[in-house]
Every structure is written in structure tokens, then in C-alpha cells.
Amino acid sequence: MCGERMDDSNIRVNYTPGRLPTFWDRSVIFFANLMALFYGNEGATQELTDCVGGVETYGGRLCPLINVLFAGGENLLVLESEPDEALLQYFAQELDLDLPEVVVLPHSRYLDLAEILATHVQADNICPSLDPALEESDDSATLRISRHPAKWIDGFVTDEVLTDAARILDKQTIIVPAASHCGNNKLRLHRFLEQAGFPTFDTVIIDSAQEFPRAAETLRQMGYRKIVAKAQVGASGIGMHKFDSATPAIDVLGETMFYEGEVLVQGWLDASCEEIESIGSPSMQLFLDETTANIYDVTEQILSEESVHEGNCSPPPFWCPEIESQMHEQTAAVCRWLHENGYRGTASVDFLVVKRKGEFRVFVCEVNARVTGATYPSVLARRFCPEGHWLMRNLRIDVPIPSAELLANLRDNAHLLNSESKQGVLPVNFNLHDDGLVSKGQFLCVGADEHTCLEYLMEAAAVLPVKWTYDRD
């Protein structure tokens, strides 16, 4: 199935898996504001920091990606910590990628961004030639932001910080906070899917922890051994708790879960449910502009037992026309919903595919309206190997290693992808210890088929002088 159609909302839905769309013809100041993913929910932000090692270093994934997504001129990437220099050299010299200018702005400074930028703008208006010492001060990053020529501002999410910054600098955000928030809200998505007549998980909505036992019992009576409580906004497993339906734990559902208001309690579908033969977790990768919704890749999510994202591969190993047709129909509808609510940019629609009695049924799990954990491997893989397969895993390195040594080992054993090769290992990002050593990384393997990708991953593990394990995103 491949092609395009116009739908009721007058946007064109292009379905061209494996072929990248034309992204933005714009220049941008892009904020890797990972610590803003929960729209002010400080409890969820702290939980993410505690659970995901080096979360502030994940923004480095955007270094090879931003100038692909924004091809309109000079771009500035604002990270929460320094990217790895050896990895940047690899992107530029061996992959021949054009990289954005990078500045570092810790999250604490990001929260005060509007006030700081207003000071710079006022000073520039009074005296355009500021003291050169300011260029080397703690204000150097915000000074470069305030003087950058890009006309647009964007980030992982659009919050009030970004809109205030855009107003002060006389720039535009691609979307408004309400569109960003809507696209990542599980309750709003659930209600849309219900109204549209698509399959949804059996769900009980609660507005306090005291209602949780009642919801659990309702779902237990429906035959579910396991249930899951979901906050309206979550990421990387934060805002999601799984329980046995007979023993729900009220104390786990604190204020952080109810920050947005009501919480969804849903029946959990897995092999413990009667007559389920298999479960899959595919995802469709999207890019929406003003007139078009592009579905440009189909991936399979690699999930832990707790359904936390650990990697992706493409295409899904169990792909068939029956699944494809249902996913395409539901994704097209979600694209219209996102577009009507003002969302523009990259996104993904994550599914659960259940096989019962030989038939497949497809459920939308969630929408991630941002650059997602699958966006960067998908875009890079399709850029270097459009017709092939790819596999991306988050790998924790048990004994941290210098990045230059890690890259040299892959290069010396002919495993490192370069601009001339069609297959190999592409390290997308390194999560660094305080000592600058690599403790975890995101490794993309591209090749002609699924077996080749897995072989590259295993061979890479064999040549590196450390032990590694799979880890969460």
C-alpha cells in the first residue's frame, strides 16, 4: 500500500514507507528541552532524571538530525549538556553530515530564558557592541541565542518558555503550547479514538487514587489479570504503572500521576489473556507540515517487560497486509486529528497488534508529538540505506570507555558506517559519565536485511573491550 489521498480536513496523507519526505525549508533555533517534556510536572521530571541515567545528554541525538529536518539555512541547536566531540567529528568527517551550531544551556538557565533574553535584547538596543568578555561568560549561550538569525524557534515540546522567548526575539514557534500538549495527551487521544469508532483498550477514568481499587476491580471482573494506570502526559515509562488487578496499590498513584487531572486505568493485553496468540508493538513515523501528513516509515518498538522503550527496528518482523491496512487507516485519522489541533512537525503513532484466533486487531497505544526515540534512527537509516532494514538499540556499557576508543574499535573492524557504505553501525549518541566516558549509547545498525543488522550489533559487541547490556531509552 503506497500513495496519497486528500481527506476531510483538506490535508494530503502521503504513505511512502522507506522514503523520507521533504522536511522544513526553514532555519531554526531548536531547544533540546528534554527536561520540559512533562509541561511543568516537576515530580515527573525528577522521576525521569532518577530513572534514566544522563537524561540531559540525550539531546545529543539531535546533532546529526537537525540540519536534515531544517534545511533552510543556519541552525542553532541548544543542548542541556555538551555533546561528545569525537562523535561530532565522526558525523562531519565520515558521514559527511552538515551539523548545526551548538550551544549549551542547562535546564536551570532554560527556565529563566525569557528574562535573560529580554536583558540581552535591551542591552543590544542600547549598545550593539557589548563587552567582548560577555562572549566567554555564563551568558554566552543566551547571547548567541538572542543574536542568531533564524526566524523560527522549536523544541522537543513547545511550552511557555519557548513562546515567551519567541515573542522577545520577534521570531515564530512552529506550533503553540496547546497543540504540543494536545498531541502528547493520552486522555484526549483516547476520547478521539472512541468518538471516531476505532478499537480502544477497556478503560476506566479516575480522578483520585481512592477510586483506583474500584477501577481495578471493574477490569478484573472483565477478565484482566493485569492493569495499567496512565497519566495523561508521560514519556519513557514515566507516568505509567502496571499492577496485578487483584492487588492494586493506591500509594503509587501520587500527585505526579494526577498533575493533569484524570488518570486512565486500562486492561493490560498480553499472553496472560485468553486466546491471545501473539502481541506486536509497531509504530508509524510521521511528519506534518501545513498541507501534508507524511507517513514515511514503519517500525517495531523493542520494549522491556515493563513496556519501556529500548530500541526499534524496521520493517516490523511480522508485517502483513491485514495489519498494514488497519494501521494506515487509524494513522491517517490521527494525522487529521493532530493537524486540526494545530500540531506540525515530526511525530509517531504507537500501536499494539493482537492476534486472536488467527485474526489481527490493531489498537493505538499513544501518540508522541515530538522528535521521538524512533525519529532519529529512522531518518538517518533512510538517508543512508533507503531500501534496507535497520535496528537501533540502547546499550549500557558496564565499564565506561572513551568515545574515541569506542569509535576506533568499530572502525578498525570495518563495522563503522561511513558515507560510502550501505551498511554498518552508526553510533547516534553517547550518554556520558561526569568523567566524560561513555556509559550508554544509541547504536543504529543498517543492512540489507534483518539478519545483517542483528549480526552487526553482535559483532560490534564482540569487538568492543567492554561488556554491554540493553537499556531503556
Sketch the domain layout of the chain as residue ranges: 25-173, 202-267, 276-368, 385-470
143-157, 159-173, 309-323: least confidently modelled range: 309-323
Q: What pLDDT was estimated at residue 176?
A: 97
Q: How far apart are CA 69 and CA 71, in angstroms?
A: 6
Using alpha carbons, list the distances in angstroms from residue 46 to 43, 90, 117, 150, 254: 5, 33, 26, 32, 14
Relative to beta strand 76-79, strand 101-104 is: parallel
CATH for 276-368, among 3.40.50.20, 3.40.228.10, 3.30.470.20, 3.40.1170.60? 3.30.470.20
Confidence label for 124 from pLDDT (cuts 50, 70 and 90): low
Burial pattern 255-284, b for ≥16 Cβ within 10 A else e, equals ebbbbbeebbbbbbbeeebeeeeeebbbbb
Percent of the chain residues past pLDDT 70, beyond the cut: 93
Relative to beta strand 468-470, strand 389-401 is: antiparallel
Helix (H) or strand (E) segment spanning residue 453: helix 450-463
Which is nearest to 161 in space by CA: 125, 107, 238, 91? 107
Per the DSSP assignment, residues forming a β-bridge with 470 are: 395
Could you report the per-residue pLDDT of 93-108, keeping only the tens digit for each? 999 999 999 999 999 8
Cell of 460: 560490534
Could you report the per-residue pLDDT of 34-61, keeping only the tens digit for each? 889 999 999 999 998 888 767 788 889 9
Identify residue 215 by its one-letter amino acid code: A
Is residue 275 classed as helix, strand or coil in its secondary structure? coil
Per the DSSP assignment, residues forming a β-bridge with 350 are: 283, 366
Neighbours of 174 (CB within 10 A): 22
Backbone φ and ψ for 204, nearest 5 degrees, come out as -120, 130
Alpha carbon of residue 168 to chain centroid: 28
Asked if residue 185 has pLDDT above 50, the reply is yes
The mean predicted confidence, pLDDT, of the chain is 90
Could you report the per-residue pLDDT of 309-364, keeping only the tens digit for each? 788 999 998 899 999 999 999 999 999 999 999 999 999 999 999 998 889 999 99
With beta carbons less than 8 A apart as the criterion, state whether 314 and 300 touch: yes
Q: What pLDDT was estimated at residue 3?
A: 46
Alpha carbon of residue 361 to chain centroid: 25
Global confidence as pTM: 0.92
Q: Does the domain at residues 385-470 carry the CATH identifier 2.60.40?
A: no
Asked if residue 440 has pLDDT above 70, the reply is yes
At the topology level, CATH places domain 202-267 in: Dna Ligase; domain 1 (3.30.1490)
Rounded average pLDDT over 192-204: 97
Strand ranges in 125-221 using DSSP code E only, listed in sequence order:
152-155, 172-173, 203-206
Q: What pLDDT was estimated at residue 125?
A: 59
Question: Taking CA 250 as the corner, what is the angle to CA 247 and CA 256, rounded to the nearest 5 degrees?
Answer: 135
**Which of the pair, 272 or 220, is modelled with greater confidence?**
220
Backbone φ and ψ for 407, nearest 5 degrees, come out as -65, -40
Q: How far apart are CA 389 and CA 218, in angstroms?
A: 43
- Do you find a cis peptide bond into 149, omega within 30 degrees of 0? no
Q: How far apart are CA 470 and CA 251, in angstroms?
A: 30
Q: How far apart are CA 184 and CA 31, in angstroms?
A: 18
